[in-house]
Amino acid sequence: MYPANSGFKAIIDRKGISFFVDREHPDGGDVAGVPMTRFVYVIHCEYRDPADPRSLPAPINPARFPRGLDRFPAALRTYFQDPGATMSVESLEGDANAIQVIVTTTLSETLADAAFVRFIQSCSVGARSAGG
């Protein structure tokens, strides 16, 4: 399993695709006088052949889905009820099989985490159809 940065962790498993999501402790501050919180989510992806119960999980390199990564922030934004939220996706230095997603929003920790989990659940369906 991947190391945890905080108390928030989610594992989404759908037909051979597993997403392991971990979040660093949130950072608070003001942006143009509006209180905003910065959340950094780290996503590791694995694939296991659902037709072969003896198969071992293999890491999925996010670079394998470049079109999906380009659309990631815009798609994620639809899950947040915050028009001023900003999102970005970055590779993780030292871990080619993970990405970090940085979200700055006025939403509470609970609402941001719930929105992110709903988004990842929808992504797992897309990753499965992309051919794991």
How many residues are present in the chain?
A: 132
Q: What is the pLDDT of residue 106?
A: 92
Task: Tell how many helices (H) and how many strands (E) occur in the chain.
Answer: 2, 7
Residue 3 has pLDDT above 50, yes or no: no
User: How do residues 74-119 score in pLDDT, each as one tens digit?
Assistant: 888 889 889 889 898 888 888 877 888 899 999 998 999 899 888 8
- Rounded CA-CA distance 61/81 in Å is 30
User: How do residues 57-81 score in pLDDT, each as one tens digit?
Assistant: 777 776 666 556 667 788 888 898 8
Average pLDDT over residues 1-30: 61
94, 2 Cβ separation under 8 angstroms: no
Percent of all residues in the chain with a pLDDT value above 90, rounded to a whole number: 5
